Structure 1
Amino acid sequence: MTTGRDDDALTWDGDDDPTLDRGETGEPDEEPETPAASTPAELPKGFTAVGKGSDALASADAPQSAASDASTAPETSVDERRPMGNGALIAFGVLGGVYALYAIGWLIGGLRLQGRAQYLVLDVMYQGSLWLAVLAPLLWFATTLLLTRVSRTWVRFAWLGAGVVLLLPWPFVMIGAIGQ
C-alpha cells in the first residue's frame, strides 16, 4: 500500500483502486468525451447552441444543410455587446445622483424665485415652466440612457457630461443657499 509519497498518512484504504486514478496531481481527470453521433441532435425552435461541441447541434429553425456543414456556416452570435464594467456602473450611479440633486436644486431655486418673478409671467405659466425645469434633468438622464444603449460607453458619458453642464440649476445657485 505504500506509494513512496511523503503524504502516506493522508491515504485511505481503497486509494489504489484503478477506477479512482487521479494522476500525480491529485486532480480528477477530464471527463471522457462522448463520440459524436452520426446525425446531429436538433434543438427546439428558437434555441441556439453555444459552447464546446455546439457546432454538432442543429437548430430546428435553421436549414439542415447549414447545420450539417458547420465549416461553411457563418458564425452568429446572440449579442455582441459586452456588459458594462464596475467602474461604468458606479459612474452611472453617481451621475444619476447628480441629476437627482439637480432636480431638487431646480425645485428649491424655482420656489424661492417664485415671489420675485410673479410680475413677469402669470402664475400658471410659471408653475408649468417650474415643473418642466424640475423634470428636465431626470428626462435628460433617462433619454440619454435609452437612446445610447447600443452606443459605446464613452458616448453615453459625453451626453451625460453635457447634461451636467447644461442643466445646472441656476436659480438655486443665484438665489438659493449659495447666492445669498
Structure 2
Amino acid sequence: MTSDADDALSWDGDEDLPSRKPALPDGWSAVGKDSERVGRVADDGTVVEAEAPRGLSTPMLLLIGIVGGIYLLYVVGWIIGGLNLQGSASFLIPTVMYQVALWAAVLAPPLWFAAVWLLTRRSPSWVRVFGFVGGILLLIPWPFVMTGVVGA
C-alpha cells in the first residue's frame, strides 16, 4: 500500500532513468558511506587517509605574536632612522639610490616574517623559531639604534 507522501516524492517515469554514479575527478573518493576514510586515491586504488591539520601550540602562538610585534617596531625604526639620515646621506649617494635602499630596509622585516612563516610550515618548530630569531638579529634598525629619534 502506498501513501500520498510516497507519491509526492516521485515522478512518473523515474524508474526508467538509468542510474549512474556521479563522476568524480581522478584520484578522489566520494563522501558518504565510510566517509571517515575520505582522502585521495593512490595509484593502486587504495584510499590514502587525509591528514588532519595541526594547530599551533600556545607557546608558538605567543612567540609569533611577540616576533610580529618586534618586526613591526623594526619597520617603524627603519622609517624613523632612515629619514633622519637622509640629509647627511645625500652627500654620499644620489637621492634615488637612498630612497630605494630605505624602502628595501623598511620592507625587509615583513618580508622576512612572511618568508619564515611560509617556508617553515611543514618544518619542526625549532626551525621556525631559529628563522624568526635570526631575523630579529639580522634586521636591527641600526640608524635608529645609533642616532635615536633626535638624530646625530
TM-score by length of 1: 0.59
Structure of larger gyration radius: 1
Structure 2: tracts of 5 or more residues without a match: 1-23
Larger relative helix fraction? 2
The residue number in structure 1 matching 2:111 is 139
Following TM superposition, where does structure 1 have runs of at least 4 consecutive aligned residues deviating by more than 6 angstroms?
A: none
Does structure 1 retain, via aligned residues, the 8 Å contact 2:109–2:135?
Answer: yes
Report the Cα offset of residue 177 of structure 1.
3.6
Residue correspondence of structure 1 range 111-150 to structure 2 within 5 A: 111-150=83-122
Greater relative contact order, per chain length (Cα 8 Å cut-off, separation 6+): 2
Distance change (3 Å), C-alpha of 1:178 and 1:147: farther
Distance in 2 (CA, whole Å) between partners of 1:92 and 1:159 is 11
For 1:90 and 1:146, the matched residues in 2 are separated by 18
Match of 2:128 among 156, 159, 167: 156
Mapped contact 1:102–1:168 kept (Cα < 8 A) = yes
1:47-66 map, 5 Å: 47=31, 49-50=35-36
**What one-letter code is carried by the residue in structure 2 that aligns with 1:172?**
F
Name the % identity.
44
In the alignment, is the contact (CA less than 8 A) between 1:172 and 1:178 conserved in 2?
Answer: no
Give the TM-score normalised by structure 2.
0.69
- Give the paired residue count: 122
Q: Secondary structure at the match of 2:35?
A: coil
Instruction: Please provide the CA RMSD for this pair.
Output: 2.9
Give the counterpart letter for 2:133 in structure 1.
G
